[in-house]
A and B are shown apart, each in its own frame.
Chain A
Amino acid sequence: MNTRFGAATLLAALGAPLAISAGVALQAGFNSAAWLALGGHPQTLSALGMSLWTGLTATALAVAGAAFLLSRSFGQVHWPQGVRLLAPLLAVPHAAFAIGLVFLLAPSGWFLRALSPWATGLDAPPPWPTTQDPWGLGLIAVLVFKEIPFLLWAAATQLQRAEVAQRWTRELQLARSQGYSAPRAWWCVVWPQLWPRLRWPLLAVLAYSLTVVDMALVIGPTSPPTLAVLAWQWLLDPDPAVNAQGACAAWVLTAVLALTVGVVGWIWQVPQQTFWRTRWTQGARGRPGVSKKLGVAGFCALLGVYGLVMLALVVGSVAGLWPFPLLLPEALSLQAWASVWGSLPTLGTTISLALASAATALIWSVAWLECAPPAWDQRLRPFLYLPLVLPPVLWVVGVHGLALSLGVDARWTGLWLAHTLAAVPYVLIALSPAYLGFEARHQQVCASLGHGHAVFLWRVKWPLLRAALSAGFAIGFAVSVAQYLPTLFVGSGRLNTVTTEAVTLAAGAQRSLTSAYALLQWALPLLIWAWAARCGRARRF
């Protein structure tokens, strides 16, 4: 009874703002004039096509890349090391990665500098669309490189559950003892069991890829832009009629997302009865060989890309005069960092928001996982994941409306609320496998020794779940730092974070200042991930 009351209270505390935000967002779609204007706009269809092309391609490639790395790595010697290295990659905010990749790929970027003039014959940056290309390839590349680590991490959280890891490892051994190569055993035995457990992270990747705004602003195409960027532009317009058009465009994205999820789900389910089952049992054993080396190479390639992006940001942040095609700047300058130092309030806002919203999200998630009856949790999870699956441009309409109704618009409290609502789904996804898979018999043992529930939680359960709890906090922190649209709208330009500064600067020509803010975007979550890794280490005896 107490736990149900607790769960109901938690639900009300989070559910009310979620419901209000969803309601405001829903209401924004009831404007027939706006729908007509949207339908009649010359860029609507092409922008939608661009969103579908970049979103679906990026998701498919990210899933394929993650699955390939898993097939070559799970159960191998390098797997634990690879999983540990995912944390710093996850800490990189999407916008920071996009900014860094732009500095590598731009006509005056590092790749062309490295090849000029000896290979290209160029002595000036060429007018090539290597970033913000009209085909959306730059956006696809950034999305793929960002989502592969997320999917690997989501898979690892499942594979870290002791009973699952041990069982699947043995199943793999068993399949290999029957002549199946390691990758073939993975595809036939483990992947079909892992895939359904990844549906929420996969949905998050699809939703993000179809509806991202900040990355698309930095590296996405401009003619046409994606529909999410178009919606964002309309939502910022001073004309309320154009704002309404933007809200309707956000609803189109939501409908497209729902349809896409339905089609993908159907494609997976229907042939599963025939096509996949035939593939699993056709008897072909696969080729033994270099699978382990490919897994190592894949991880190295991923780390290499991230390393290059980080290096580009570091060098860019201290670059003074840097004529093309010199590989390194002619002069170094700390002017950008001096400027960042002068914006301490921005840094303070970023850190305070991230700490507060991560802590709130973690406390709420732990309380929910403790109190909520399993049936409630199962039924209400889709509702709790709303901020994850609704397009950010639609969600931000709702959150902004919520902040206005509570009178916390342009205030730190309003931003804290918006960031917390965004962080909770990610923290829940991170925490749930370990928390719900916790050995129930520990509590029985504790009770048989005369200890109550509070002692059990404080001295047994939470210490044993230290790694998962600290990782959950780190994820909430990273999500908060990366919030662009909610900060822009709810902050109303009066409160800025390093992310809003970085994305705004990326549109201009101040490479060093943009790099400095992007590096800060990266460094803050990285520090927290390092703390979380240290915190989560097993006790040494």
Chain B
Amino acid sequence: MSLRIHLSQLTSPTAMLLQSLDLDISGGVIHTVMGPSGSGKSSLLAAICGTLAPDLVFKGDIHLNGKPLLALPTEQRGVGILFQDDLLFAHMTVFENLLFAVPAGPKPERKAAVMQGLIDLDLASWAHADPATLSGGQRARVALMRALLAQPQALLLDEPFSKFDATLRARLRTFVFELVKKRHIPVLLVTHDAADIADPAHLTQLAHA
């Protein structure tokens, strides 16, 4: 598995956001992109995910497992994303939030996948809880499991730890990195905190645009 990004330019109507960026991320690797605010990190993720704002222009190409992504709509790209906010759906229980992510199939198997996910998270007793009653750390873990249950072929992490204090941050980081490495998919982590770097050998620093 691999995620290849060849970016020649990423521009807005008034500014150049990014230029000349080449990334080749293999399965199981967490590649970190660091840069200050305004350096184009989130726009890069939006371009990969297929949610780039209409006024921004991406020049280059993106391939996932050899498949070109740019012409595909978001739902067909197979790229999961985890934002800074957990964005658990307020109208669904924890169980339903996870079930929502599981691809269509026989109901017993889908439910079993969700229950296994909850067990892995040590949150089985919270299955039918309102997401608002979970702690911030619990919600973040549920959000990650939801992203993984959709069986993405690549995963984007948009500053997922920035909301938390140092201790919780470290715990979550360890948890997230272990879980995604087990899935052996390419992961792109965007952050402005050096403590989030998964592997210094897989690091790209962005300058301010």
Residues of A participating in the B interface, judged by any CB pair closer than 8 Å: 77, 167, 170-171, 173-182, 185, 188-189, 192-193, 277, 280-285, 288
Contacts and interface: CB of A to CB of B under 8 A. Distances in A.
B136 interface: no
A293 to B, nearest CB: 13
B87 A281 contact: no
A288 B75 contact: yes
A324 B69 CA distance: 59
Contacts of A181: 75
B92 A177 contact: no
A217 to B, nearest CB: 42
12 contacts: A170-B85, A171-B89, A173-B81, A174-B83, A174-B147, A176-B74, A177-B79, A177-B80, A177-B150, A178-B75, A178-B100, A281-B92
Interface in B133-150: 147, 150
B50 to A, nearest CB: 8
B104 A282 contact: yes
Contacts of A178: 75, 80, 100-101, 147, 150, 152
B99 interface: yes
B188 to A, nearest CB: 13
Contacts of A288: 73, 75-76
A177 B77 contact: yes
Contacts of A185: 75
Contacts of A175: 100
Given A170-B85, A178-B101, A280-B91, 13 more contacts: A170-B87, A171-B87, A173-B49, A173-B81, A174-B81, A176-B50, A177-B80, A177-B81, A179-B150, A185-B75, A193-B90, A280-B96, A283-B110
A188 to B, nearest CB: 7
A363 to B, nearest CB: 35
Interface string B115-148: 0000000000000000000000000000000010
B162 interface: no
B81 A285 contact: no
B110 A167 contact: no
B53 to A, nearest CB: 10
Give the most central of B51, B96, B102, B104: most A CB within 10 Å. Answer: B51
B105 interface: yes
B66 interface: no
B73 A176 contact: yes
A162 to B, nearest CB: 14
B54 interface: yes
B77 A193 contact: no
Contacts of B74: 173, 176-177
Contacts of B51: 173, 176-177
Task: Name the interface size band of chain B.
Answer: 20 to 34
B168 to A, nearest CB: 22
Residue in B54, B91, B100 with the greatest tally of chain A CB atoms within 10 Å: B91
B103 interface: yes
B83 to A, nearest CB: 6
Nearest to A192: B91
Contacts of A285: 75, 103-104
Q: Is the interface of B mostly helix, strand, loop or mixed?
A: loop
Contacts of A283: 99-100, 102-105, 110
Q: Is the interface of A mostly helix, strand, loop or mixed?
A: helix
A176 B54 CA distance: 17
A167 B89 CA distance: 10
Nearest to B156: A177
Contacts of A284: 104
Across the A-B interface, the 7 shortest Cβ-Cβ residue pairs: A283-B104, A178-B150, A176-B74, A281-B99, A192-B91, A176-B75, A173-B51
Contacts of B75: 176-182, 185, 285, 288
B142 to A, nearest CB: 13
A180 B101 CA distance: 9
Contacts of A177: 49-51, 74-75, 77, 79-81, 147, 150, 152
A291 B90 CA distance: 25
B134 to A, nearest CB: 17
A119 to B, nearest CB: 42
A110 to B, nearest CB: 38
In the complex, which of the residues A167, A176, A285 has the most CB atoms of chain B within 10 Å of its own CB atom? A176
A71 B103 CA distance: 22
A282 B103 CA distance: 9
B117 to A, nearest CB: 14
A285 B87 CA distance: 19
A359 to B, nearest CB: 38
B152 to A, nearest CB: 7
A134 to B, nearest CB: 43
Nearest to A174: B87
Query: Which residue of A182, A277, A284 has the most chain B CB atoms within 10 A of its CB atom?
Result: A277
A185 B73 CA distance: 13
A158 to B, nearest CB: 14
Contacts of A193: 89-91
A181 B77 CA distance: 12
Contacts of B101: 178
B88 to A, nearest CB: 9
Interface string B44-55: 000001110010
A280 B92 contact: yes
A288 B101 CA distance: 17
Contacts of B102: 283
B96 A277 contact: yes
A395 B126 CA distance: 50
A232 B90 CA distance: 46
B130 to A, nearest CB: 13
Nearest to B155: A177
Contacts of A182: 73, 75
Contacts of A180: 75
A281 B79 contact: no
Given A170-B85, A280-B96, A179 B76 contact: yes
A283 B152 CA distance: 15
A130 to B, nearest CB: 43
A170 B89 CA distance: 11
Contacts of B92: 277, 280-281
A145 B90 CA distance: 32
A282 B6 CA distance: 37
B6 to A, nearest CB: 21
A77 B92 CA distance: 28
Contact of A167 (B81, B85, B96, B100): B85
